[in-house]
Amino acid sequence: MPKKESVEKLRFTFQLREDVIEKARDAVYWTPGVTLASFAEEAFIRLIEQMEKQNGKPFPSRSAELKTGRPISGGADPFKRIKKRGGMR
């Protein structure tokens, strides 16, 4: 893995399913040298890279801030294409 450049860290707060949190905590507990923050950062990096690869290029910068609150339920799985290609389980 390439050396990571030193960048400012920001707090990022969100809610996850309890079973996902517990699995992450177990994985971190049993993996020496890994913290929950480094685990989450690596997961974000890997998924973003998969999504950019599927997109064919990096996503452009946002033109506005993200909307907060509950998502509009449309029933569609936004990660369906990634899961199909074996990138997510």
State which residues form the domain around 50: 32-58
Q: How confident is the model at residue 68, as a pLDDT?
A: 82
pLDDT digits (tens, 9 = 90+) for 47-69: 999 999 999 999 999 999 988 87
Whether 24 is in a domain gets the answer no
Amino acid at 58: P
pLDDT digits (tens, 9 = 90+) for 2-25: 666 778 999 999 899 999 999 999
Whether 40 is in a domain gets the answer yes
pLDDT band at 85 (very low <50, low <70, confident <90, very high): low
Whether 89 is in a domain gets the answer no
- As for how many domains the chain has, the answer is 1
Torsion sign, CA atoms 3, 82, 17, 75 = positive
Whether 23 is in a domain gets the answer no
pLDDT band at 89 (very low <50, low <70, confident <90, very high): low
Strands (E), the chain: none
Q: How confident is the model at residue 75, as a pLDDT?
A: 66
How far apart, in whole angstroms, are the C-alpha atoms of residue 52 and residue 58? 5
